[in-house]
Amino acid sequence: MLNTDIPGGDTSANTRADLQNFRLYSPGIPRERRSTDPDGSTDNESPSRGVMRYIGVWGSAYVPTITMTPKLREDRPGRGSDHTSFISQACPAVRFMETHECSPSPVDNSCGGPFPCPPPAEIPAFCKDTSFITTHQHSPGDLVANITPTYASRIAQVMASVAASLARAPLSPTEFNATGNSARGVNFHFERPDGRVNHFVVAARSINEDFYRQRVVISDDGGRISATTLGFNPGDSFYISVAAVDRQGHESLFAYPEIRCDSTACAIPSYAFDVTAPLPMPPPPPPDHDTDDD
């Protein structure tokens, strides 16, 4: 599910440089939903993160005039949109947003605390009004005069091109699995999807990276590959997966779940299938004992 919510390019909150980018929110596992939840990390995964990677690669290929900024959480702290209900039903979903918004909503939790982080300093003071009286979001100030039509149209182009590319691509390979390790080589196997598949690509990303380093073309539904071929040093830790490609070059989503390989083994992450799980509630603060009263 590709959800666009607040894509107008508000002229009060965004500079010319800001309008060269858009935010793309996608949750990991577990989902980062509350104001007190820290941002996610590259060392987790989810089906929605797979959609994020697809948009980052193919959206920029079709619409090179705008760049995706990945946000590793479901939404801004304590906020949500129409993609939330899809994720709750285990449907991969992401949210497209303008770079900055004229709203008191904090952008993310990357400040390190206390949470939630405040809005960026460059946002005008009237945009930080917690009553929403002078802000543009959810207020009478949400006017056509405040948007940048060319910016909104580029986000629409990214969404349309990604949706069309996915619609034309084969389905993802299924039952992907890998054994071995990153030091001596990885053996992999998967089931071919129905449809017109011309070839497959195997790719891997470091546990510290959001995106795959390089695509290795293969023709069979299994084989052996080295860390070096994938762009890594033997013994490095990475996630590996495979996608199907048709004769015209339309690429599927990569198979889910990715397999994590390190110097000793390859395995499916233990949390990979609990895709709707939120982060647990933080523990309650310790009781405030007054020694005089005791």
In a domain, 187, yes or no: yes
Please report, for the chain, how many H helices and E strands are present, in that order.
4, 12
Is there a single domain that holds both residue 103 and residue 59?
yes
How many distinct structural domains can be found in the chain? Answer: 2
Q: Give tens-digit pLDDT for 16-39.
A: 999 999 999 999 999 999 999 999
Rg of the chain on CA atoms, in Å: 21
Is there a single domain that holds both residue 128 and residue 262?
no
Is there a single domain that holds both residue 156 and residue 187?
no
Confidence of residue 142 (pLDDT cuts 50, 70, 90): very high
Structure tokens at 178: 């890998």
User: Domain end: 142, 166, 190, which one?
Assistant: 166
User: Domain end: 107, 142, 166, which one?
Assistant: 166
Confidence of residue 291 (pLDDT cuts 50, 70, 90): very low
In a domain, 107, yes or no: yes
The answer on pLDDT for 293 being more than 70 is: no
CATH number at residue 212: 2.60.40.10
In a domain, 49, yes or no: yes
What is the C-alpha to C-alpha distance for residues 3 and 84, in angstroms, rounded to an integer?
10
Averaged pLDDT for residues 144-157: 97
Is there a single domain that holds both residue 53 and residue 155?
yes
User: Domain end: 121, 136, 166, which one?
Assistant: 166
The 174-181 sheet, strands edge to edge: 174-181, 185-191, 222-225
In a domain, 64, yes or no: yes
* H or E segment to which residue 204 belongs: strand 199-206
What is the C-alpha to C-alpha distance for residues 3 and 78, in angstroms, rounded to an integer?
18
What is the C-alpha to C-alpha distance for residues 27 and 95, in angstroms, rounded to an integer?
10
Averaged pLDDT for residues 39-67: 96
In a domain, 102, yes or no: yes
Residue 261: per-residue pLDDT: 98
Q: β-strand 266-267 against 185-191: which pairing, if any?
A: unpaired
The answer on pLDDT for 192 being more than 90 is: yes
In a domain, 133, yes or no: yes
Confidence of residue 284 (pLDDT cuts 50, 70, 90): confident
In a domain, 153, yes or no: yes
Is there a single domain that holds both residue 203 and residue 158?
no
Q: Give tens-digit pLDDT for 254-267.
A: 999 999 999 999 99
Is there a single domain that holds both residue 62 and residue 37?
yes
Q: Give tens-digit pLDDT for 154-190.
A: 999 999 999 999 999 999 999 999 999 999 999 999 9
Q: Give tens-digit pLDDT for 203-255.
A: 999 999 999 999 999 988 889 999 999 999 999 999 999 999 999 999 999 99
Averaged pLDDT for residues 113-126: 90
Exposure letters 198-232 (e unless 16+ CB within 10 A, then b): eebbbbbbbbeeeebeebbeeeebeeebebeebbb
Residue 289: per-residue pLDDT: 55
Q: β-strand 94-98 against 2-4: which pairing, if any?
A: parallel
Is there a single domain that holds both residue 7 and residue 148?
yes
Is there a single domain that holds both residue 13 and residue 147?
yes
Is there a single domain that holds both residue 37 and residue 18?
yes
Is there a single domain that holds both residue 10 and residue 150?
yes
Q: Which domain holds residue 210?
A: 174-267
What is the C-alpha to C-alpha distance for residues 239 and 235, in angstroms, rounded to an integer?
13
Q: Name the residue with tokens 């005069």.
A: 145
Is there a single domain that holds both residue 37 and residue 146?
yes
Averaged pLDDT for residues 128-144: 92
**Are the C-beta atoms of residues 253 and 54 closer than 8 Å to each other?**
yes
In a domain, 294, yes or no: no
Confidence of residue 288 (pLDDT cuts 50, 70, 90): low
Is there a single domain that holds both residue 72 and residue 134?
yes
Look over the chain and give the mean of its residue pLDDT values, rounded to a whole number: 94
